[in-house]
Structure 1
């Protein structure tokens, strides 16, 4: 009996030891997993998270058809993410209405005016997200990165650029031939003075038709006429005080003097045709215009054999600098519960594969600095077949190296140019009046804050 009890007790003891060890092992395993889970990288956590389907809402201002053309294939590629279109009118009121309807876009593509996203304080800077997801911002075009950073007071990257455009000097060889003028070098940028000297030679009447040697596409006092100013990439007003900077920055007087020289070419400017496209009517020898000008502005393909492109004109003291690049930032909202997934969408949008597809038909210039992708711009566009597409890539776009001033929108450059073109006002008086008019608008805007 004692032997039986001894064996029984010994077996119980061994079972106790076994289960103690087993429990300890299980506890250690569980503890190890918990510790390992807590030490996992953000990328691993994101991978686990991405297994659950997520909807990313995008506020987009260019229509549903355009939206689907840009994002549907990304939607299909990212299996765990569904992309949803949110109509947006690119205004503060429109964004407020979206929120009032209890819709919260994860991404807002903000065109031109940053007031809506800044006023409502919904911007999530993406510098940290770029590091987290391994995106090297140096793969983007430097001018676009500088532009996006210039939109933030602290120089943060408030979003990724959704695209860009190219500018070139289009010319009609038939009009050069008509006036007996030699074609310019297609590989070299002319200065603005050289362009205007050529323009003077080809402005006049031939065979009962009036020709001009040069025009800024869609208006000699419109936005295109500010391209020479964009090569400086500087503010007109102080971002904080709204103070005018014309006296401190001689570039502005240089610009207005140059435009005055242009408007004083006899018969180059006609108020009756301002805003039209004489180049489209084959009555202008040269025109400064952006990409897709040939298929959007010129009409029939068979009538374009005599048309080609030259590099964008430059300032003589900065012969390599072309206009800075702008873009609509694709902004991740700071309230989004799916910032990582939203950034995945943006990364796929700027991926080399997607960018290549976008640029080949010429719908948008690449945001990437890779020459192999840049040079594919419009390669599949029949209007640009056998054209000097290299003209788009001559020179380096300027870098906007300061915070853009919100007060610049109150400076009516277009109105000043119209006054310069249509009256006898001198440049000094023009600049003084522009400053006075703008200061009044700025002070009024400041009083309403």
Structure 2
């Protein structure tokens, strides 16, 4: 009997285990089915998202072709229910807002963020980025930290989507014509000016200009200089650092024949003259590769080297300089706006921009540099690595009145270059007018 009881008990336990396993398996299957149903429901819900159209203020505009390549097409693939309406900047954001326009997104240079701050459009996007799984650590801290300069609390008002890179472009035919060796990477301003003296001359009725620095503020950026203090709005130009900038300008413009015929070309005209007239031997400026296609096809024989550096500051060019995309404070579609930002700053889109636009990316992904300009036929064989041999100087906060201040300073810079004012007078009078003008604007 005892043996029979043991056998019976063993049978019962075995049946219980089998039943338990069956129940566990059934529960697992039910859970899997539930997960599939839930995932399916989410997918269905995604497909049933209400269509939404967002207005984007294009403070930094692109061609229709590039908007399609870098925004509309990638957005349609991932979030087909979101449409972005690009609004050209016209007379500026203040004018548009005053006319009743409303925006969900904006693109703008970080130096011009003050224009958006004046009309109350900026807002910290950090919590929205977190909610949408946008990892800020993908971006070079140089650019995120520069954005934080615009807030007392270290807020981030947008995300960088391209960064600037400077170079010294040169016309190989001019150097060949006069039998002068080409520029090389790592030159200082003094060395570049000495080289410019050898190719600034008149030949066959054509005046050749050895060196053009584009404009005054471009020369100032490697020293991290601003015209107005970004927090106090007080002028900061009558000082030794700005004198150093003016001295470099004096060095190149004291070369006989190097001052352009049109005084308006002292601030920005050099780029067009380098490309169209092809009479500038060296042009020190920002990335213009995306603008050189037609000039190359028309015969411009160009290459590039590192941007000249100030003595004692090797491998430093420009200033942290970049464009920002942000969601506006007034948008009623923050989640959709952040999805647009997510797509626009994704590795996929950033790599497209690096290869095809081409502009350097603010992402730390090394592929962005490796593949820069890879799809630009006329850039093949050029010294593209020159872009990445230097690093930008830190950028302080720009004043909300930067554009106004720049125009005032340029006027005194021109007077100095043309010999109408000496350096100390030009900088002193510029500072006086700047403070007076900003005082008037802040009282309105």
Using structure 2 for the length normalisation, give the TM-score: 0.78
Q: Is the 1:359–1:374 contact (alpha carbons within 8 Å) kept by the matching residues of 2?
A: yes
CA contact 2:117–2:400 (8 Å) conserved in 1: no
Structure 2 partner of 1:25: none
Give CA-to-partner distance per residue, 1:132-186, whole Å, 9 cap, x none.
444332322344323333333433210012323332111122222333322233x
**Quick check: 1:389 aligned with 2:384?**
yes
Q: Is the 8 A contact 1:92 1:115 kept in 2?
A: no
| Stretch deviating more after TM superposition (86-95 or 424-433) | 86-95
- Report the CA distance between 1:72 and its aligned residue: 1.4
**Using the alignment, how far apart are the partners of 1:251 and 1:381 within structure 2?**
39
Change (3 A) 1:94 1:302: closer
Q: Secondary structure at the match of 1:420?
A: helix
Q: Deviations over 1:38-90 (max 9, x none)?
A: xxxxxxxx999856335250323337825444321132222363123052424
Instruction: For structure 1, list consecutive stretches of 5 or more residues without a partner in the other structure.
Output: 1-45
Distance 1:263 1:311 in 2: 21
Which moved further from structure 2: 351-360 or 123-132? 123-132
Match of 2:161 in 1: 162
- Structural mapping, 1:11-410, within 5 Å: 52-61=49-58, 62=61, 65=64, 67-79=67-79, 81-89=81-89, 90-99=92-101, 104-110=102-108, 113-185=112-184, 188-217=185-214, 222=215, 225-246=216-237, 250-272=240-262, 274=265, 275=269, 277-280=272-275, 281-293=277-289, 295-296=291-292, 299-301=295-297, 303-304=299-300, 306-400=301-395, 402-410=396-404
CA distances 1:289-313 after superposition (whole Å, capped 9, x unpaired): 3334474476242624x42111111
Deviation at 1:410, TM superposition (A): 3.7
Query: Structure 1 residues 176, 107: closer, same or farther in 2, change over 3 A?
Result: same
Q: Secondary structure at the match of 1:144?
A: helix
Deviations along 1:323-374, one digit per CA (max 9) or x if unpaired, are 1243332221234343233222211211111111122113433231222112
In the TM superposition, residue 124 of structure 1 has moved relative to its aligned partner by 2.4
Distance in 2 (CA, whole Å) between partners of 1:243 and 1:443 is 9
| Shift in Å, 1:119 | 2.9
**Counterpart Cα distance in 1 of 2:112 and 2:339:** 25
* Corresponding residue of 2:38: none
- Aligned residue in 2 for 1:5: none
Aligned counterpart, 2:36: none
Distance 2:67 2:290 in 1: 24
Q: Distance in 2 between matches of 1:289 and 1:183?
A: 17
**Alpha-carbon distance in structure 2 between the residues aligned to 1:372 and 1:83:** 29
CA 1:371/1:63 → structure 2, altered by over 3 Å: closer, same or farther? Answer: closer
CA distance 1:117–1:300, change in 2 (3 Å): closer
Distance (Å, rounded) in 2 between the aligned partners of 1:315 and 1:125: 36
Any conservation in 1 of the 2:326–2:341 contact (CA below 8 Å)?
no
Residues 260-300 of structure 1, C-alpha deviations (whole Å, 9 max, x = no match):
22221111103337335443333221112333447447624
User: Within 1, Cα distance between the matches of 2:181 and 2:247?
Assistant: 27
Distance 1:167 1:298 in 2: 20
1:24 corresponds to:
none
Once the two structures are TM-superposed, the CA of residue 206 in structure 1 deviates from its matched residue by: 3.2
Task: Tell me if structure 1 keeps the 8 A contact 2:139–2:362.
Answer: yes
Alignment partner, residue 423 of structure 1:
419
Distance 1:362 1:203 in 2: 33
Shift of 1:214: 1.1
2 CA distance for matches of 1:416 and 1:256?
Answer: 11
Q: Structure 1's 416 and 154: CA in aligned 2 closer, same or farther, altered over 3 A?
A: farther
Distance 2:307 2:186 in 1: 6
DSSP 3-state at the match of 2:210: coil
Contact 2:193 2:252 in 1 (8 A): yes
Distance, in Å, in 1 between the alignment partners of 2:376 and 2:284 is 20
Cα-to-partner distance string for 1:203-240 (whole Å, 9 max, x where unaligned) = 112344322211235xxxx4xx4222111223333334
How far off is 1:399 after superposition? Answer: 1.9
Aligned-partner Cα distance in 2 for 1:156–1:415: 35
Q: After superposition, what is the alpha-carbon deviation per residue over 1:95-139, rounded to whole angstroms, capped at 9, x for unaligned?
A: 24344xxxx432222456335532332322122233344433232
Q: Distance in 1 between matches of 2:294 and 2:286?
A: 13
**Do 2:70 and 2:352's aligned partners in 1 also have CA atoms closer than 8 Å?**
no
Contact 1:291 1:362 in 2 (8 A): no
* Structure 2: runs of 5 or more not aligned: 1-41
TM-score calculated relative to the size of structure 1: 0.78
CA contact (8 A) 1:88 1:94 kept: no
